[in-house]
Amino acid sequence: MGSGKKIGGSVIKRLLLPHHLFKVIQLQRKRKSKERVFEDPQLKLYHDILPGDFLHYGYFDHPEVHPLDMTINMIYQAQERYGEKLAELINDKTNPALDVGCGMGGLLKILNKKNIPVIGLTPDAHQVKHLKNSYPNKIMESKFEDVQPGEYLNFFGTVITSESLQYLDLPLSIAIIYKILKPGGQWIACDYFRTGASGEKSGHNWAYFTRELQKGGFKISYQEDITANIIPTIAYVHHWASKIGLPLKDFLIGKFQIKAPGFYYAFSEALPEIEKKLNKNIATVDPVVFAQNKKYILMVIERE
């Protein structure tokens, strides 16, 4: 009881005393002005859970695997396979490649082993620190949209966007890629796209993407739908979230209600909103919903 009073008193003090209240307001205002991409705690969490230096779904050669039969090691292997598939598409092994949104450097590692020169690009401070401590490659600390094409005009033999394209401003990024690619160079893209009207809204709309490509002077020279091959990771996450995460949440709320009924009463009106948010997040990794509304495409894009 004493610790509960102490916690409650500390919270009340920080909400009511003028200098603490000012700090609360100041931090909340800064929260939105600080761009998430410059130090994304969610991406750091992914890396801590899956320390293979990859931050994507991976590629399963045998996508029929059931979530109950999967292991974390299988996801590591699928992520390595994903990187290998990208590397297999690179024709120019002499001129530098640019890995846009290089994450923790998994693809850099694969290309380094193949002696393909590659530069990484990320605006994330945590990623930059890890990359500089782990890899010898040059790292561009920038959002891709802030790259000055004049500095890299006709410089790269290959530009790679693997699960980073969805975050880019399409018209601006397409124009930059057109300028920094050497004549005859390749843009290798691997990402998911929205095809349906419903479902979660991340990813570019496929029809919009292909229109912008054409307007930007590009054509798709190779295309492979790998939706089925990335689904196992989504199904695995969905299984753990729905079959373990939700029951654990109910257990913790029940314990909270018993051990701290006063605090439970104070937060009880917010619980339905929290529940709604959790269910929405779990729905984003529902493999059936994903496959109905999105497709994951591996492609090589070239100038017209």
pLDDT by residue for the chain (304 residues), tens only, comes to 455 555 445 544 444 454 444 444 455 455 444 444 454 444 444 444 555 567 788 999 999 999 999 988 899 999 999 999 999 999 999 999 999 999 999 999 999 999 999 999 999 998 999 999 999 999 999 999 999 999 999 999 999 999 999 999 999 999 999 999 999 999 999 999 999 766 667 899 999 999 999 999 999 999 999 999 999 998 998 888 888 888 888 888 888 889 888 877 888 888 888 788 777 777 777 899 889 899 999 999 999 8
Q: How far apart are CA 5 and CA 175, in angstroms?
A: 59
* Cβ atoms of 214 and 172 closer than 8 Å: no
Q: What is the pLDDT of residue 24?
A: 43
Q: How far apart are CA 200 and CA 182, in angstroms?
A: 36
One-letter identity of residue 1: M
The DSSP annotation for 138-155 comes to -EEES-GGG--GGGGTT-
Q: How far apart are CA 175 and CA 23, in angstroms?
A: 43
Burial tier of 191 (Cβ tally within 10 Å: 0-12, 13-18, 19+): buried
Q: What is the pLDDT of residue 53?
A: 60
Q: What is the pLDDT of residue 131?
A: 95
SS3 content of the chain, % helix, strand, coil (to 5): 60, 15, 25
Q: What is the pLDDT of residue 199?
A: 60
Burial 231-265 (b: 16+ CB within 10 A, else e): bbbbbbbbbebeeebeeeeeeebeeeeeebeeebe
pTM greater than 0.75 (yes/no): yes
DSSP lists the bridge partners of residue 300 as 188, 222
Structure-derived torsion over alpha carbons of residues 150, 164, 199, 68, reported in degrees to the nearest 10: 170
* Cβ atoms of 124 and 35 closer than 8 Å: no
